[in-house]
Amino acid sequence: MAATPADDETADSSPTEKPQLRGLWAVMQPAETVTEPVPESANETSIPARGLWSVMGAGSASTVPVDAVSDDELEPMELVDETEPLTVEETHLEIAGDPPATDALGAAFEFETGTTTPRLARGSQALWLGMLALPLAATAWFGILWTALPTAACAFGALILAAAEWTARGPINTAERRRVTIGAVSGAAALVLGPFVFGPLGNAAREARSGRSTSRNLQQIGTALLSVHDQAAAFPAGGTALRDNEGKSRGGHGWMASLLPFLGQQTLFQQIDFSQPYDEAVNRPAMSKPVIMFYAAGGNRALNGGGFAVSHFAGVGGDVVNARGEKQPAGIFRTGQPLTREDVTDGLSVTFAAGELGGAYPAWGDPENFRVPQLGFNKDARGFGNAARTGATMLFADGHAKFFPNATDPELLRRLATRNAGDLTSGVD
């Protein structure tokens, strides 16, 4: 039934209730359950009202209770039956290509089609390793094993990087190839220079230095021998002999003990009881003291098994045998009898007085500390030699010293050892 004007006027004139204002929290909370009458019209749809918090949250599919609101608070809703399809326009984007990749030195890489990962920049690494190996190779001069390890590591590192670059697949990078080649050549040169150039040079320098110290000590001994001769009119005996209480002969002291006052060892000389053998208890404190002039370069300076200080030198004395099997006296030392210049008819400058030992060092007070170079150098324990096993430095009776290599002719050594065989040898400095 249509509404009459009177009804409309009544409705307009009656006071309307203002809807109750609700806070934000109330709006966000879910509404309480309200039972609504089912609409009579089939076209009307009952839509449950939900709070803002429920709308924003992950609500369940169950029906949400509706707050009881008046018809005046409800605003008409326009239902859309179908959603219009959205039309998306195709947009073509043009993406610029990446700039060419470059290595640490600015050289551009070239890649095959489809390659996205650049090869490693091996050139600079190999170059630096190879250039570093060259100065490290000079450490081989010191002759110490651990100093060669950094050289080998850098050199082999450069070679490995070079091999990896030269066998790598892909386009050739000329700059990288050039750098790895220089690094590999430098590394190989370091491996050659170390053991074959710097190593031998260092050994030669050490041998020369040790030879100088050995020669210097021998020359001091030679000067002391000549001083003893000037004072006593004879060289010291190779060894003295003493008799014990039972009348038995025993070795007393060696020729080196007589040199102590002339080597700056006067105090040590005075501590020795020459009436008692060198190895008696009374003489042990003195005989256990080292004398620097009795040492050669490279020799072991530890006390021997008896607790005595050792000598790296021995006198030349005894007999040598010539080609005819004849014995000939050698050197300037013999037991119990001092020799003079006149006994050395072959000449002091061509007659051995003492020499360097390669091992089995005797005590410097040993009365039997003399021998002959019959077989050559570094041939047997009772011969002459040096710690490096390269030869021996020999002292002549006139006070000069000379180094002889292992290859020295044994016949020359025999002739230089004899003192009165009439086999003078010229050309020996």
- What pLDDT does 146 receive? 77
Mean pLDDT by 10 residues, the chain (429 residues): 44 49 56 49 49 49 49 53 54 52 49 47 86 90 81 91 85 84 91 87 68 86 95 92 79 93 94 92 94 90 91 92 86 91 91 92 94 86 88 92 90 90 68
d(CA 385, CA 391): 5
- What pLDDT does 308 receive? 95
- What pLDDT does 71 receive? 52
d(CA 82, CA 254): 129
- Asked whether 326 and 367 are in contact (CB, 8 A), the reply is no
Burial 337-370 (b: 16+ CB within 10 A, else e): ebbebebbebebebbbbbbbbbeebbbbbbbbbb
- What pLDDT does 271 receive? 95
Phi-psi bin for 55: left (phi > 0), alpha (psi -120 to 50), beta? alpha
Give pairs for 240-248: CB < 8 Å, separation 24+. 240/274, 240/335, 240/336, 240/367, 241/335, 241/336, 241/367, 242/275, 242/276, 242/277
- What pLDDT does 104 receive? 46
- What pLDDT does 59 receive? 45
What is each CA distance from 38 to 35, 41, 45, 65, in whole angstroms?
Answer: 9, 9, 9, 15
Note the pTM of the prediction, 2 decimals.
0.54
Structure tokens at 412: 């020359």
- What pLDDT does 41 receive? 47
Provide the Cα torsion 393, 299, 216, 319; round to 10°: -40
- What pLDDT does 167 receive? 86
- What pLDDT does 177 receive? 85
Amino acid occupying residue 339? L
- What pLDDT does 54 receive? 52
d(CA 131, CA 395): 48
- Phi and psi at 317, nearest 5°, equal -170, 160
- What pLDDT does 295 receive? 93
Burial of 261 (0-12, 13-18, 19+ CB in 10 A): middle
Beta strands at 313-321 and 370-371: parallel, antiparallel or unpaired: parallel
- Asked whether 369 and 237 are in contact (CB, 8 A), the reply is no
d(CA 348, CA 181): 63
The domain limits of the chain are 122-207, 234-417
Residues ≥6 apart with Cβ < 8 Å to 34: 65, 66, 67, 68
d(CA 226, CA 277): 25
Residues ≥6 apart with Cβ < 8 Å to 146: none
Amino acid occupying residue 417? A
- What pLDDT does 105 receive? 46
